[in-house]
Amino acid sequence: MPVYEVHRDGSRPFYTMKLVKGETLSKAIRWHHEQSRAGHEDPLSLPRLLNVFVNVCEALAYAHSRGIIHRDLKPENIVLGDYGEAIVLDWGLAKQIGSADEETAPVLLTEDAQSQATRQGATPGTPAYMSPEQAAGRVDLLDQRTDIYGLGTILFEILTGQAPHSSASSAPLREKEFHAEAQSSQSQNRESGDESPHSKAAPRLSIHDL
């Protein structure tokens, strides 16, 4: 996303960026699967979506090379341009690796958009697309691999037409699974005699095991 100007108007900072128009990847995915269910699938539709996915991966690879993670990857935050370009938006939860998280006020989810709404506060992100460590509130574990998990959820939705987690209630459930698997992993390590620091720190459900 190009930023054209960063300046101050008196004491107030402002910036100017490109005006982006186009449909979201979420809308394109819905259209693809609606056409497929109706028996009118364009044979090039899925390859186009997969090409968009590759472009998003390349955009994130660049951000990661600069030490920045997005933390809220989902099809709704990707806009398709008029010429096939994929633009990753909504970097409001982005973070530089190694920097401390600033305190943010919690944002309540609306009833009609629980799983799709971005949550801020102790657990930043969108419940339907959260990695296990995000769902567990382990912001200290978030790094580039958290975004890679997010890319996996986007690919999942491209292929299936559904988000990987269907409701906001899945976040607390995966938080419990995260801690249960951490305890199970540590117990297995003690039984096998593997007491390495890495084996203790990485629960099996976390994206950090990949």
Beta bridge partners of 203: none
pTM score over 0.75: no
State the Cα–Cα distance between residues 80 and 87, nearest whole angstrom.
Answer: 6
**Residue ranges of domains in the chain, CATH in brackets:** 17-100+117-168 (1.10.510.10)
* pLDDT of 148: 96
DSSP state of 207: G
* pLDDT of 110: 40
* pLDDT of 21: 84
CA angle centred on 43, ends 73 and 148, rounded to 5° = 20
The catalytic site residues sit at 72
* pLDDT of 205: 43
* pLDDT of 46: 96
* pLDDT of 176: 55
Q: Are 182 and 203 in contact (CB under 8 A)?
A: yes
Q: Are 18 and 85 in contact (CB under 8 A)?
A: no
Give the chain's length: 210
Nearest to 156 by CA among 165, 144, 169, 146: 165
Nearest to 144 by CA among 103, 89, 95, 91: 95
Walking along the chain (210 residues) 10 residues at a time, the average pLDDT comes out as 84 85 94 95 94 96 95 95 88 82 44 48 75 86 94 97 74 54 54 50 43
* pLDDT of 91: 87
* pLDDT of 154: 97
* pLDDT of 178: 53
State the Cα–Cα distance between residues 22 and 54, nearest whole angstrom.
Answer: 18
State the Cα–Cα distance between residues 5 and 78, nearest whole angstrom.
Answer: 23
Contacts of 95 (CB under 8 A, 6+ apart): 68, 69, 71, 101, 142
State the Cα–Cα distance between residues 129 and 134, nearest whole angstrom.
Answer: 10
Q: Are 28 and 49 in contact (CB under 8 A)?
A: yes
* pLDDT of 20: 83
State the Cα–Cα distance between residues 118 and 127, nearest whole angstrom.
Answer: 8
